[in-house]
Amino acid sequence: MMLLQNVERLLEHIRSVEADVIALSKESMLKLAALLERQGVGIDDDAAEALQYQDIIAQQLSATIEAIESVRQLHLSAAEPADATRLNQELEDVLERAKERRQAFTGNVHHVNDDESIEFF
């Protein structure tokens, strides 16, 4: 099952890259916040909302990392052809949970209704 081993290695790489992006985003936000504080700069609601998008991005990436870990726990490299149906159902379940997490972590970013502001957790 060399193909599944390669898929598993690719998923690990993607998970690692996403974790790095989360760390860089957090570091970026900390530095920007420190600069604003040092300069005594106040920000308006639009700027605050833009800054909070970083939190939404981190939540989305965390959700995909969780999905990747769920797939990796299926022990893809040990899968037997007889287990293909079970493996396929488990992968579908992981995908469905990932889609649900994506929707939960949008923070209402794509809503155009003025009554719905960004939600933060």
pTM (2 d.p.): 0.67
Rounded distance, CA 112 to CA 46, Å?
14
Q: Which of 21-25, 68-72, 106-110 has the highest mean pLDDT?
A: 21-25
Rounded distance, CA 73 to CA 94, Å?
11
Does the pLDDT value for residue 121 go beyond 50?
Answer: no
Rounded distance, CA 26 to CA 38, Å?
18
Tens of pLDDT, residue by residue over 1-38, are 566 777 788 888 888 999 999 999 999 988 988 998 89
Give alpha helix (H) positions in 40-121: 45-72, 84-104
pLDDT of residue 72: 80
Does the pLDDT value for residue 83 go beyond 80?
Answer: no
